[in-house]
Amino acid sequence: MSVLFQEVSRSFNLLKPKLSLAKANKKKIANLVDVSNVNLTIKLGEINELSFTVPLKIEIDKQWVKNPHLKRLKLRRLVKLSAYNFKDEWFIIKTKQKSGAENESVTFTCMSLAHQLSYRKVRRYEVTSYNMKQVTDDCFANTNWKAGYINPLFNEKFRSFDITSSTKLDFLMKICETFEAVPVFDTIEKKVHFYTEDEASKYKGMRIKYGQYLDTIEDTEELEEVCTRLYVTGKDDLSINAANPTGQAYIEDFTYYLYPFERDKDRNVISHSYEMSDELCHAILDFNEFIDSQTETFSSLLARQTEEEKKLAKLKAQKTQLDLELQVILDKIVVATEAKDPTAELIKERNAKEAEIAAKKNEIKNRENLIADIQNKITLLKGKLTLESHLSNELKEELAEFINEQEWSNDNLYDETDLYEAGLEEMKKRNTPPVNITMSIVNFFGIISEHQNWNRLSIGDIIRVQHDRLGIDVKTKVIEMSFDFESNKINLTISNSKRVETVKEKMVKLVYTINHIDNDYGVRKIDWMKTAENFNIRNDRISTPVAAPTVKSDGTAISHEYNDNGSVDIVLKWEYPESDEDQYNIDGFEVYLYSSESSDEYVFGSKMSHEELVNVKYDKRSYKFTGLASNKYYTLGVRAYRRVDADIERAGIILSDIAQSKHASENPYLPSAIAEVKGRVNGLIQAVSEVRPENPDVNTVWINPKTNKQELYDGEKWIEQSVTSAESLNGYTAEVASTPNTIAVRDETGTINASITGSATQLGGYDSSAYVLKSDLPSSPQYATGEYIGDGKQSRSISLNFIPTLVKIYSTSPTDSTLIIQNSLGGYSIQNGEAGSYLKGGDKTYGSMNLNYFITGSDINTRGNKLNVKYIWEAFKQN
């Protein structure tokens, strides 16, 4: 993700670091000169920092006078940094420190402009089931900042927040931590973009090693950081016992100490662990195999327990209804007795109802006994699923030497399955010593000849660091970059990753951990007290089953709206009676969302931990999911609920069935096969209409949906970008007659009707003897360049005025790579590998050429012609 750099062109002007001072409205006051010790620190996912020193006195006209800038350099004023090919960034002056040493000076420390958010407070904020767009809109409310790009995955997750007396900047960081997002601050537009870690961290082929950029290096390893037993807790001290196959509140992983132990199928030791005895290694691997062997049994028991609990809940609801019917009969008997009416028939009804209730009680008791038996089997099995139960006392003592306990909690997770899966991911980060390397490298951003590597090193990028003599070989993430502009050095900190492993090392370690049992289909342990609001406490004693909502299946239940960034807002509508009947007396609705790359029909409950649910009040009949990816498949459903007292229902809630549309186009629902982006993309503004936009901005691309005509506005005129017909060229029409201001074309006989005036005896004042025939001159190489906007189609042709021998296509988007085409058989794309750049391809899916035109990729990848991406091409002919 090259968020740090501008585009490099042939006329690029390499700027030395320059500081300018401005007021709060960014109106420039002065250029800051005579500054020294300019240092810029960039941290991944944090606020950048700038510091510089200003002398108290400067020399003007051979006289030392007080520095006039010092009066202007006030706290909270803005400073803009322009350097190299970096994007400009605004900072706010936070502190100033006067120094009375040999050279009297003042040092200023500035924070990136997003530091303004720390001046705003959040006094009280509590929400349940909000996605990132919803919560960031609230965070940026009443500020000049707003959310920019949000990865659609974050809008498919719903989380709870409880914030008290916090700054908006701390709140923003809490949001990023909760959704595991990497924030990128745009101080020019005052926007914050939210990327996934995979988006923010890419390997672009950057390699730093001894003798190549590297100046100094320090590599620190700490044993204290190696965790073998991780205790995991969630919101309100939620534990993972029920979701963990071992039944423990912790996750264990001894990978670090097991390595490089390896054995064959006959238990013969191939290589020994550096730390553990062979006996303990065997015992741990035997335990892992035992866990794997019990997967089917354990999963089957969980499935049976889930099914029987559903049946038990249904039986209890039926008994509650029978109790109500019995009470009605008893009331009738009382009334009849007082009125001295006959009661024989009523007594028969009472006896029959009591017998029915007794039979139902017996069914419930049998079902409870069955569930208890299943639970006993699960408990017995879980007792065998502990490592200690497979170790002798001697091996238990040895294992104790390798146990390093740590704790991890996430207060935003209230589901045991989600918490357990998150704990597994956290354990992967802690089971080996983290990479913690600091080093100093040459500032190659100030060297124009090194421009090919400029966009390979940015904050968050993955780089490879090698130092043969120190035995260092890591491929990891840059989490901090500190520029010392005067010494021409960059100090890098790389961390939070792993050492480079060989394929053999990875294969050996595969057997060190448990293939944990997938109990995802089990009943989701949701804390309904937190997720389902009790909007109506007057119905807490009603035990009647809740009626399900009605979702139409005629194709009108689900709709969507496009956003300018290519995402969509999806709306689900349902119907529900407004009635006094108990079955319709509810507190609200739970709206479900499941997203997938597959068009297969999804059944709710299949992958519960991947389902998102949102709570809405009883008077609502629709819900809008915002900021979702437009090209994914969505399954939506809704169920009604009533919160009740615990003696009415053990879970404290009665739920209806989940209702969903059964229409083919809505189950699942695909908003669009492609993402339609409006607004500025790659520096271009997209406008789709049948008439040209009025007062367009520079780089506006107008697309006429009727004619598929595409034009680019360069600030003065519209330039046609695509050819749709041969009826005109730059406004001139084709004509077979010799009509003025037309293009002369041949008639049906091949004759051109046109007249040419002038003298052929002289040219430029010289007669023919002064000229040489072109055929007698050596042919010179030919070159052409141009640009176009991708239309997303396969095998697009771009015409040339000569037959090329080489074509290069450069993409302005990271989603497409540079293409090199040499012949009609196919082209290549430039890829970055561990050893450097290399060419991949060789067929027409990577482009081709033919006579006087070249062709973009021929398959669905549309290389060289992705929709709405700007491309720059070069064509060469070597004679």
- The 10s digit of each residue's pLDDT in 812-849 is 887 888 999 988 888 999 887 777 778 888 888 999 98
**How many CB atoms within 10 Å of residue 258?**
23
3-class SS of residue 62 = coil
Neighbouring CB atoms inside 10 A of 444's CB total 18
Instruction: Give the pLDDT confidence score for residue 748 in this predicted structure.
Output: 54
Region of poorest pLDDT, from 363-372, 504-513, 574-583: 504-513
Q: Give the pLDDT band (50/70/90) at residue 605.
A: confident
CATH 2.40.30 fits 201-222+433-512, yes or no: yes
Band the pLDDT of 476: cuts 50, 70, 90.
confident
Residue 607 CB-density burial (10 A; 0-12 exposed, 13-18 middle, 19+ buried): middle
| Confidence band for 768, pLDDT divided at 50, 70 and 90 | low
Check pLDDT > 60 for residue 146.
yes
State residue 69's pLDDT score.
84
pLDDT, averaged across the chain: 81
Q: What is the pTM of this model?
A: 0.56
pLDDT at residue 729 greater than cutoff 70? no
Over 281-342, what HEC string results?
HHHHHHHHHHHHHCHHHHHHHHHHHHHHHHHHHHHHHHHHHHHHHHHHHHHHHHHHHHCCCC
- What is the structure's pLDDT at 494? 80
Predicted local confidence at residue 397, as pLDDT: 92
Q: Are 568 and 672 in contact (CB under 8 A)?
A: yes
The per-residue pLDDT for 6 is: 43
Please report, for residues 66, 234, 359, the alpha-carbon distance to residue 75 in angstroms, rounded to integers and kept in the order given: 19, 42, 81
Least confident of 91-100, 380-389, 821-830: 380-389
Q: Return the percentage of the chain with pLDDT > 70, whole number.
A: 82
CB 622 within 8 A of CB 550: no
State mean pLDDT over 44-63.
87
Specify the CATH architecture of the domain 120-199.
3-Layer(bab) Sandwich (3.55)
pLDDT at 848: 92
| pLDDT (0 to 100) of residue 652 | 82
- pLDDT bin (cut points 50, 70, 90) of residue 560 is very high
- How far lies 278's CA from each of 241, 256, 264, 271, 399, in Å? 30, 15, 13, 9, 12
Closest CA to 540 of 657, 646, 655, 615: 646
Residue 24's nearest CA partner among 78, 96, 82 is 78
For the cut 70, the answer to whether the pLDDT of residue 780 exceeds it is no
Token pair listed for 55:
């002398």
Pair of tokens at residue 490? 């960059």
Which parts of 385-523 fold into alpha helices (H)?
393-400, 416-430, 503-509
**Per-residue model confidence (pLDDT) at position 547:** 92
Residue 746 is predicted with a pLDDT of: 58
Looking at residues 231-253, what average pLDDT do you find? 83
Coil/strand/helix, residue 821: strand
**176-185, 427-436, 527-536 — most confident range:** 176-185
CATH number given to 15-116: 2.40.10
CA dihedral 199, 205, 206, 208 (to 10 degrees): 130
Contacts of 355 (CB under 8 A, 6+ apart): none
The arithmetic mean of pLDDT across residues 735-760, rounded, is: 55
* Tens digit of each residue's pLDDT (9 = 90 or more) over 669-724: 999 865 555 555 545 566 666 778 777 766 677 777 667 677 877 767 787 765 44
More confident residue, 788 or 516: 788
Across 63-77, 89-103, 159-173, 528-542, the highest mean pLDDT is recorded for: 159-173
Q: What is the pLDDT of residue 138?
A: 95
Q: Does position 518 have pLDDT exceeding 80, yes or no?
A: no
Rounded Cα distance between 77 and 37, Å, is: 20
201-222+433-512 and 528-655 in the same fold:
no
Question: What is the enclosing helix (H) or strand (E) of 360?
Answer: helix 344-384
Check pLDDT > 70 for residue 582.
yes
pLDDT at position 670 is: 92
**pLDDT for 5:** 44
Are 704 and 690 in contact by the 8 Å Cβ rule? The answer is yes
732-735 sheet: strands from edge to edge: 728-729, 732-735, 742-744
Residue 360, φ and ψ in degrees, nearest 5: -70, -40
Name residues whose C-beta falls within 8 Å of residue 772's C-beta, 6 or more positions apart in sequence: none
Whole-angstrom distance, CA of residue 553 vs CA of residue 666: 8
pLDDT at residue 778, rounded to an integer: 54
CATH topology of domain 528-655: Immunoglobulin-like (2.60.40)
The pLDDT value recorded for residue 51 is 94
Dist. CA 592–CA 611, nearest whole Å: 7
Of residues 613 and 133, which shows the higher confidence score?
133
d(CA 526, CA 530): 8
State the pLDDT confidence band at 478, using cuts at 50, 70 and 90: confident
Q: Which two tokens stand for residue 440?
A: 């100093």
Domain spanning 296-384: which CATH class is it, in words?
A: mainly alpha
Domain spans, the chain: 15-116, 120-199, 201-222+433-512, 296-384, 528-655, 725-756, 776-877
Please give the backbone phi and psi of residue 855, each rounded to the nearest 5 degrees, phi first.
Answer: -130, 135
β-bridge mates for residue 827, sequence order = 821, 843
DSSP string, 772-809: --GGGSPPPPEEEEEEEE--S-SS-EEE-SS--SEEEE
Q: How far apart are CA 393 and CA 280, in angstroms?
A: 11
d(CA 257, CA 110): 45
Higher pLDDT residue, 280 or 511? 280
- Per-residue pLDDT of 216-234, as tens digits, reads 777 777 766 788 899 999 8
pLDDT at 350 over 80: yes
CA 332, 337, 340, 346 dihedral sign is positive
Give the chain's largest Cα–Cα span.
Answer: 140
Look at residue 621 in the predicted model and tell me its pLDDT: 94
Q: Are 463 and 478 in contact (CB under 8 A)?
A: yes
- Name which of 135-144, 188-197, 413-422 the model is least confident about: 413-422
Q: Model confidence over 445-458: pLDDT tens digits?
A: 777 666 677 777 88
Give the pairing type, strands 633-643 and 653-655.
antiparallel
pLDDT, mean of residues 540-566? 88
